[in-house]
Amino acid sequence: MSRLLFLLAVVVVVYLLLRSFRKQAPKQDVPATSEDMVRCARCGVHLPKSESLLAGGNFYCSEAHRREHEAK
């Protein structure tokens, strides 16, 4: 009977140690960053500003759309 109580006490202590270790572990969350969205002057699709092409004060989603819009 005393062995069973000793084993139960060991299990409880290990459980409590693991639980407290998990709480102290640093989070690996990547901070969310936002970016301005712009609209293509040719087709109207919205895309991140860093992925767009800026020409003549307008934003474009591709070089082909830039050429088509400027040809008009």
Residue with the larger pLDDT of the pair 24 and 34: 34
Total domain count, the chain: 1
**Residue position matching structure tokens 């070089």:** 63
**Residue position matching structure tokens 């409880």:** 12
Whether residue 8 lies inside any domain: the answer is no
Q: Residue 43 sits in which domain range?
A: 37-71
Whether residue 53 lies inside any domain: the answer is yes
Confidence bin at 30 (pLDDT 50/70/90)? low
Whether residue 28 lies inside any domain: the answer is no
Asked if 49 and 35 count as a contact pair (C-beta separation under 8 A), the reply is yes
Summarised one tens digit per residue, pLDDT across range 1-24 is 889 999 999 999 999 988 887 776
Alpha-carbon distance 67 to 40, whole Å?
Answer: 12
Residue with the larger pLDDT of the pair 71 and 27: 71
Mean pLDDT of 39-63: 95
The least confident of 26-30, 51-55, 64-68 is 26-30
52 CB neighbour count, 10 Å cutoff: 22
Indicate whether this model's pTM tops 0.75.
Answer: no
Whether residue 52 lies inside any domain: the answer is yes
Whether residue 15 lies inside any domain: the answer is no
User: What contacts 22, CB < 8 A, 6 or more positions away?
Assistant: none
Q: Per this entry, what is the length of the chain?
A: 72
Whether residue 61 lies inside any domain: the answer is yes
